[in-house]
Amino acid sequence: MVKKIAFVINPNAGVKKKLDIAEFVKKNLSQSHSPEFIIWENKDDFDTVRQKIKSGNYDTVVACGGDGTVNQVAAVLAHTKMALGILPLGSGNGLARSNGIPMNLIKALQVIERRGIRQIDGGRINEFPFFCTAGIGFDAHIANEFAMSTKRGFITYFNKTIKAFFGYKPFHYNILVDGKRIETKAFLITVANSGQWGNDVYIAPKAELNDGWLDVSVLKPFSIISLPIIGLKLFSKKIHTSVKLISDKGKQIEIEFDGELPVHYDGEPVFVKNKLIIRIMPLALNVVC
């Protein structure tokens, strides 16, 4: 049973912006709870939210928003006794889906009330924590494009993906997975704690959230003719059977490249120069699922 619960609401995120989340929670949460609400007013300032979470002595903190909101809240809760709940309001909802949290908000709220706890791993890409996937290449390029868009949702993401595909040029990477070298040109490189990016699109189908390993998926360049087959394998959890994919597991992954490129952590884009160091954070987060 939840003892003290806070809902972190990002009014600027997600595909259900017209829904009053606070009113929805008050109406549908059991009367035995007295929820507190923390509003993330300024998208460029999470420090105030972070301090309220840390000082609140909460039992559970629920991220109400998309993958970016979930990542920010999870980063605060990592390595603490507080548990992360999720009301999935985003386009992809990768971590929610990976933990079996329903996309139906009333059912998701019921999961939060039952408070079944699962410990999961996390990762750190340079200084940025992530709990679902992080990567470099085409998916990071799309994450950057999507972040600059005023429209949200899967259709927007899909349209940007198709439009960008034809002009995208793969880069050459030098990869070390626990000291084992992979040198190749790649369309994208994903380091996965969870098997999917979101929307049930699986880039690392064999990844497990609490096995102490990060799964590395290196998708080599492919022709337009191969695109339907690659897409089908991504949606059917069979991309690991593609001859275009190099798969591995590790606890520390280093990726070297020339210049400055976009990188993403749980879909949040950032530009990085020359090198990434990605490390596992074993059993770092309690998740309500």
- Do 166 and 60 lie in a common domain? no
- Do 110 and 148 lie in a common domain? no
Number of domains in the chain: 2
Encoding tokens for residue 168? 């995208």
Structure confidence at residue 1 (pLDDT):
52
List strand residue ranges (DSSP E) for the chain, in order: 5-9, 36-39, 60-65, 83-88, 117-125, 128-130, 133-137, 171-177, 180-186, 188-192, 196-198, 201-202, 214-219, 245-250, 252-265, 268-288
- Do 103 and 136 lie in a common domain? no
Domain presence at residue 287:
no
Tell which of 115, 150, 179 closes a domain. 115
Domain presence at residue 254:
yes
Structure confidence at residue 91 (pLDDT):
84
- Do 19 and 147 lie in a common domain? no
d(C-alpha 85, C-alpha 103), whole Å: 13
Domain presence at residue 123:
no
Structure confidence at residue 67 (pLDDT):
93
- Do 132 and 267 lie in a common domain? yes
Encoding tokens for residue 62? 């629920």
Which residues fall within 8 angstroms of residue 30, CB to CB, at 6 or more apart? Answer: 113
Structure confidence at residue 285 (pLDDT):
98
DSSP string for 182-210: EEEEESEEEEESSSEEETTEES-TT--TT
- pTM for the model: 0.91
- Do 67 and 190 lie in a common domain? no
- Do 161 and 276 lie in a common domain? yes
CATH code for the domain of 243: 2.60.200.40
Range of the domain at 17: 5-115
Structure confidence at residue 157 (pLDDT):
65
- Do 140 and 273 lie in a common domain? yes
pLDDT less than 70: residues of the chain = 1-2, 13-18, 148-154, 156-157
